[in-house]
Amino acid sequence: MTLAQYIHDVFHIESAHQESPNIRQYPFPEEWGTGSLQIIRLGCYAAIIMFDGCFTRNFTYHIQDDELLHIAYYREIFSSHHCPHTCRPMGADAFYAHIGLSGHLQTDYQLGTPVKSVHIFLSPEYYDGYLSAKVPNAGTQIRNALSIIENIEFFPELTFIFHQLYDYQNSCCGDFLFYESKINEILARMLQKCLDAPELPLRQIKQADMEAVHVIAEYIRTHTAQETPLCELAHMACMSPAKLKYVFKAAFNCSVREYRLQNRVHVAKEMLYHTDLPIAEIAAQLGYQNSGNFSSLFKRYTGFLPKAFRDYSRMHPHHTDFSRQ
């Protein structure tokens, strides 16, 4: 499937068959909801699509059996994201990357879901052809980088670039140079992050060490409000801090700090749904003296402020994800 055919089939836009560079604004497809789409076509090999709207019904979005490379950044979202091997909630300030050949991708948008996002689509002619002529084995390296992007909780360099794309005001014929440069910068940051990421596991992890980090994880879950220093956790696990970080990352695919934050968000979601405690009280029970800091954390992971999540989850209990991320 060509990039033009994909845009035409998914977004029902007749002019998407045009191969020449263009920037167009379109309304959301009626069956999706209200809002707008901005589609920036960079010839036949690349496109940037920006969402700004709200889904007025439950909607499922599919990508399947094509070779398009898809990188997405969500400024505002709350929904479910299904990759070939995962199913996880989508949160604000998060990245998702996928290539068609790696399997089926499904995204479930729930009724009333606000979405502000930037999506980059690249054809194989770009990442296997044009780019490989400039960077040896570029296609292979980018495929490797995609899986790493999905497992990175915070990537401020990439966030900054996507914010530039979303906030850019089209003004002149130089717009296409701006968009193309940002695509290349995003890919460069991804490749650099791939080189910097540790290869886990580098060696066989002993069963005793794996059992020890599971004990640490259980301790974190049962001491939600505590900020136990890494050195103390390492002492509990009979490891050095460096070894604990290594084994914990291999076992849970996140750092100790990220695991602690994810656990707090999970507990907060349960408390918001099942109790009428004030937000400030929930924040205090989770170890936050400043409820604003708690609210910022909660929105980063869920896309909702705490009160909005409470209202939404009680209105749509069957559409709300309470699983640990």
Output the CA–CA distances (angstroms, integers) from residue 86 to 99, 105, 118, 199, 261, in the order listed: 15, 10, 22, 20, 20
Name the residue among 57, 73, 7 with its Cα closest to residue 37.
7
pLDDT of residue 232: 94
What is the identity of the amino acid at 41? R
The answer to whether the predicted template modeling score (pTM) of the entire model surpasses 0.85 is no
Q: How far apart are CA 194 and CA 289, in angstroms?
A: 37
Going 254 to 316 to 303 to 266, the CA torsion angle's sign is negative
pLDDT of residue 260: 93
DSSP label of 191: H
pLDDT of residue 223: 95
pLDDT of residue 85: 39
DSSP label of 130: I
Cis status, amide bond into 201, omega within 30 of 0: yes
pLDDT of residue 103: 47
pLDDT of residue 202: 44
The beta-strand segments (E) located in the chain are 22-27, 33-41, 46-55, 59-63, 69-76, 79-82, 87-90, 94-99, 105-109, 114-122
Q: How far apart are CA 290 and CA 197, in angstroms?
A: 33
Beta-bridge partner residues of 40: 23, 48
pLDDT of residue 16: 47
Domains (range + CATH), the chain: 3-196 (2.60.120.10), 200-253 (1.10.10), 263-325 (1.10.10.60)
Per-block mean pLDDT, blocks of 10 residues, the chain (325 long): 72 58 83 87 88 76 66 69 45 67 55 80 84 78 70 71 88 85 90 66 73 94 93 93 87 86 91 94 94 90 85 72 52
Compute how many other C-beta atoms are within 10 angstroms of the C-beta atom of residue 262.
17
Name the residue among 276, 277, 273 with its Cα closest to residue 316.
273
pLDDT of residue 83: 45
pLDDT of residue 2: 73
pLDDT of residue 147: 63
